[in-house]
Amino acid sequence: MTTREPNHSTGFEGRAAWQLLASARTVLIATHANPDADAVASILALRLALAEVVSNLICLTGDGLVPSSLSFLPAADLLIREPATVHETPDCIALLDCADPSRLGPFFHLHSNWFDGQIPMVNIDHHITNTRFGHVDLIDPNAASTTEILAQWFLTVGVTITPDIATCLLTGLYGDTLSFQTTSTSVRALELAALLLRLGARHEEIVNNLFRRKPVSTIRLWGAALSRIRVEPPLIWTEITRDMLRETGARPLEGEGIVNFLSGAEGTVVSLLFYEQPEGWRVSLRSADSLVDVAQLCQRYGGGGHPRAAGCRLPPGEAARRVFLNDLRAIVTELLATRPHSR
């Protein structure tokens, strides 16, 4: 990758997207259900950027949830926590960090007619599986986070990056790169991080909230999940059942980091975390090897994501999970066998 690879946000599409949003009276800024740091930080950064130019901004996550670790973000108190209370039809929609509108979850189902193409949509995302559903799409699969695209876009269209906006943008980068550890950590991402620090991003606040602060219930949940790991090389997996959540008092979001912690365990290549839900399993996968693209594997099951981090859903019960694990083990073993021998 070159250091200054252009993306859509810096070209004609970037200016068109800004025009579309800035000329609207009511803008809905939304991100996916079960939001991560990049998702929440993205919608808040855009909200702050548009605050001066758009009179009515509706800003929410698709399920109204915001992890408590992100409540430190500037303007987090302006997020709408009850999406069902939103009835006013926007005249423009910005969807951030969403591969497709259905990723909004509950909010998509409440207002699916808003996403049928009649209301102009600005689609800003870095998922390779993005379906390019917007009237304007600012998509860059090489971006480490959606906030990386936002930052380049803001610089191009002349948005002043205040310390608050810089803090949001750096939070997305920190979150999606897991502190600059993922393969998406490019020269461009690191240069952007430096620029954001120069612009006043509050580094210590981000690190304390994202990586140190945690409820005690999280530690209990991790303890329970880690005590159940199963190693079936090249897979390592564990689960979070509804019983475990009840016993530890934790919410499902609190298990998010476990699959990353498992990734890279000796003798394994793919780590998985199964979340038990009433409608079946939600599965989160990580690949520790460039030969194994878990986004591609998840697409076979109607899911998607990034090459090294992806997810999908399975029907309830042990049998469905067993079939999935056996299939996956066979495919991953086959993929690994394609590696040319070095000597």
Q: Which stretch binds Mn ion (CB under 5 A): 72-80, 113-121, 174-182, 236-244?
A: 174-182
Asked whether the beta carbons of 245 and 210 are under 8 A apart, the reply is no
Name the 3-class secondary structure at 286: strand
- The residue number whose beta carbon is nearest to Mn ion equals 38
The distance of closest approach from Cβ of residue 308 to Mn ion in the complex, given in angstroms and rounded to an integer, is 13
Intra-chain end-to-end CA distance of the chain, in Å: 28
Closer CB to Mn ion, 35 or 234, in the complex: 35
The size of the interface with Mn ion (CB under 5 A), counted in residues, is: 4
The distance of closest approach from Cβ of residue 144 to Mn ion in the complex, given in angstroms and rounded to an integer, is 8
Closer CB to Mn ion, 99 or 328, in the complex: 99
Q: Is 97 in the site for Mn ion (CB under 5 A)?
A: yes
The distance of closest approach from Cβ of residue 27 to Mn ion in the complex, given in angstroms and rounded to an integer, is 20
Closer CB to Mn ion, 100 or 176, in the complex: 176
The interface with Mn ion within residues 50-69 (CB under 5 A) comprises: none
In sequence order, the 6+-apart residues with CB closer than 8 A to the CB of 173 are 38, 144, 145, 147, 148, 180, 189, 192, 193, 196
The distance of closest approach from Cβ of residue 326 to Mn ion in the complex, given in angstroms and rounded to an integer, is 31
Q: Is 140 in the site for Mn ion (CB under 5 A)?
A: no
Q: Which stretch binds Mn ion (CB under 5 A): 170-178, 250-258, 296-304, 318-326?
A: 170-178
Closer CB to Mn ion, 111 or 126, in the complex: 126
Q: What number of other Cβ atoms are within 10 A of residue 343's Cβ?
A: 2
Q: Is 148 in the site for Mn ion (CB under 5 A)?
A: no
The two three-digit tokens of residue 184, written as one number: 């998406």
Q: Any alpha helices (H) in the chain, and if so which ranges?
A: 12-22, 37-50, 106-110, 146-157, 163-176, 187-198, 203-207, 216-226, 242-248, 258-262, 294-299, 318-337
* Alpha carbon distance 187, 201 (integer Å): 19
Q: Is 38 in the site for Mn ion (CB under 5 A)?
A: yes
Q: Which stretch binds Mn ion (CB under 5 A): 21-29, 140-148, 255-263, 289-297?
A: 140-148
**DSSP of 292-342:** --HHHHHHTTT-EE-SSEEEEEE-SSHHHHHHHHHHHHHHHHHHHHTSPP-
Q: Which of 13, 100, 176, 256 binds Mn ion (CB under 5 A)?
A: 176
Closer CB to Mn ion, 13 or 97, in the complex: 97
251 CA to centre of own chain: 18
The site for Mn ion (CB under 5 A) is made up of 38, 97, 146, 176
